[in-house]
Structure 1
Amino acid sequence: MDVIVGIDVSKERLDVHVLPARDSFFVGNDHAGVDELARRLTRAKAGIVALEATGGYEMLAAAGLSSTGFAVVVVNPAQVRSYAHALGRRAKTDPIDAAVIAAFVAATSPEIRPLRDEESEVFSAIVSRRRQIVQMITAEENRARMALAKETSKSIRRLLAALRRELESLDGDLDGRIRKSPLWRVREALLTSVPGVGPTTARTLIAEMPELGSLDRRRIASLAGVAPFTRQSGKWRGKSFIGGGRSRVRAVLFMAALVAARHNPVLKAFRDRLVAAGKPKIVAIVATMRKLLTILNAIIRDGKPWQSA
């Protein structure tokens, strides 16, 4: 059996469990702790090292261990908890979680994908920050419509002006990083050649879905969370749903599909056919999202821009 390492990540420390030795220990979640962890895992001849996604606290350990040469995988916390419940393990502590992560990886053998480099991580962080600023602008604009007091309106206008300046600054930063990377520049041009896909969608896909163009259409749809899954038992058949995957990618694909369903002749005809066949409009848009992603995947794979029939 390969040596598999499960790591439960918190802000201050990393709880580690090693299989099959069943060795457990912890180190600090800092540079010194990661260096110590790398030395111990090297002595243990670790094969796969798995960490839970924890909103960013795992990034230091994942990057440090990956650069040392370990095969690192970041696993979905919801899947790990479902696996624990299936085993009947209700107790939850950091050492127990580390052991469950190791057991989950041993049982499921998740695919090991290369981690993003530092420049890609920074680009993704800027894209995420831009999305937060847009959400704050939308919230303040909604408050402006409801504001009655003059002082409140002035405060909202001042904040909106500052937020819009920050949005311009972030867009300039993204423009500069795109210009410096020939690969990203080409990818953005290819993606935005499709009617309905703007810079925001293209840059989100560049940041959040580097696998675009390297997987088949079914796997890329599953990765984005737009592949429908069915519920069926005996003669009963429930409705199909989408979910899981990368929510940020799914969100921009939804907006892009709405635009494409009006302005992209191929996707508009596709969506209209589904509606004419009696499909609910939301189902038609979800199918349009999936078809749009398939088109974008093929464009990046082939390196050829959109060509309307």
Structure 2
Amino acid sequence: MDKVVVGIDVSKDWLDVHVAPSGEHFRVGNDHAGVEALIARLSSHGPALVALEATGGYEHVAVAALSAAGLAVVVVNPAQVRAYANALGKHAKTDPIDAAVIAAFVEAAKPDIRPLKDEAARAFGELVTRRRQIVQMMVAEENRERMAASPPARKSIRRVLTALRRELESLDADMDDRIRKSPLWRVRERLLTSVPGVGPAVARTLLAHMPELGSLDRRQIAALAGLAPWTRQSGKWKGRSFIGGGRSNVRSVLFMAALVASRHNAVLKAFRDHLVAAGKPKIVAIVATMRKLLTMLNAIIRDQRPWQNT
């Protein structure tokens, strides 16, 4: 018998479910009652894998409950699922089709099943995300202040900036408290920030959004962050290499860290300068520096040894 794979298309209010290979399709509410009904219904199928798309948080209740019920759950990248659908010629987008495509995608791609974040890690990740949002709002307000001509407008902007800075301090204090209460996070933050160019904001983003750090090899960790280069190629024609997919929030902080490290970290500065001297475009050199920095951090967490200038 073929193994049973379940694809679930997630929206704010509904979970559309497709069971392969039987083709059964049904819908339940995206709430605790609906998820309980889903678990009861799936128990008779004995699925080998249940797959849901990442939808910005709407999947959290279902993922947590399904995992707690002992089902193997994987959260897949929507962009990869859509690319797979396009490759199959399924350009229409409806919830039943999406659920079936998700099931087909995981059957074909066989993604790794990794442990879910616990509640403390999820809460910490939300704080890190909120901090990034506050910083983005501060940058936007600072830009508006530079453009504002009238004193009343500037006064209003400064009031908003004062409130945002106060909120940023509060978030930082909350994260400090959570780090202090977790011996594991405290040790990992100390290890990560031992690398010149890596500050607390970078370390905490990695702690929150890349818990696999130290448990994967360098190719896997680069692919997870979306830093593994891929090339557009057809027959003898070979195009440029690109990066993409993966975890954009991790890439964002690694970009800033690589810029700093390429000035203040002797090893990474020499690495970047060598690439530029060899004729590589500066942005290509920075991306390569990001990848090298990530593999260094991965090794530091794996070996539990702080940075050493060599």
Give yes or no for the alignment of 1:220 onto 2:221: yes
Please give the residue correspondences for 1:116-265 in structure 2 after superposition, counting only pairs within 5 Å: 116-265=117-266
Q: Which residue of 2 aligns with 1:288?
A: 289
SS of 1:245 mapped into structure 2 = coil
Q: Render the CA deviation track for 1:84-142: whole Å, top value 9, x for unaligned.
A: 22222222211121111111112221111111111111100000000000000000001
Displacement of 1:212 in angstroms is: 0.5
Structure 2 unaligned residues grouped into runs of 5+: none
SS of 1:82 mapped into structure 2 = helix
Identity of aligned residues (%): 74
Number of matched pairs: 309
Displacement of 1:238 in angstroms is: 1.8
Write the distance in 2 (CA, Å) between the matches of 1:90 and 1:243: 22
**Aligned letter for 1:236?**
W
Q: Render the CA deviation track for 1:54-76: whole Å, top value 9, x for unaligned.
A: 11101110111011111100111
Q: Which residue of 2 aligns with 1:79?
A: 80
Displacement of 1:21 in angstroms is: 1.8
Write the distance in 1 (CA, Å) between the matches of 2:236 and 2:46: 50
Write the distance in 2 (CA, Å) between the matches of 1:76 and 1:62: 14
Displacement of 1:52 in angstroms is: 0.7
Q: Render the CA deviation track for 1:11-54: whole Å, top value 9, x for unaligned.
A: 11101111122111111100111111111111211220000111
Please give the residue correspondences for 1:29-40 in structure 2 after superposition, counting only pairs within 5 Å: 29-40=30-41
Query: Normalized against structure 2, the TM-score is what?
Result: 0.98
Query: Normalized against structure 1, the TM-score is what?
Result: 0.98
Displacement of 1:243 in angstroms is: 1.1
Q: Kindly report the root-mean-square deviation, in angstroms, between the aligned alpha carbons of the 2 structures.
A: 1.0
Please give the residue correspondences for 1:256-275 in structure 2 after superposition, counting only pairs within 5 Å: 256-275=257-276
Write the distance in 2 (CA, Å) between the matches of 1:234 and 1:35: 50
Q: Render the CA deviation track for 1:181-201: whole Å, top value 9, x for unaligned.
A: 111001000000000000000
Displacement of 1:232 in angstroms is: 2.8
Write the distance in 1 (CA, Å) between the matches of 2:85 and 2:245: 18
Q: Which residue of 1 aligns with 2:301?
A: 300
Write the distance in 1 (CA, Å) between the matches of 2:24 and 2:213: 38
After TM superposition, the runs of 4+ consecutive aligned structure 1 residues lying more than 6 A away are none
Write the distance in 2 (CA, Å) between the matches of 1:6 and 1:193: 42
Please give the residue correspondences for 1:15-34 in structure 2 after superposition, counting only pairs within 5 Å: 15-34=16-35
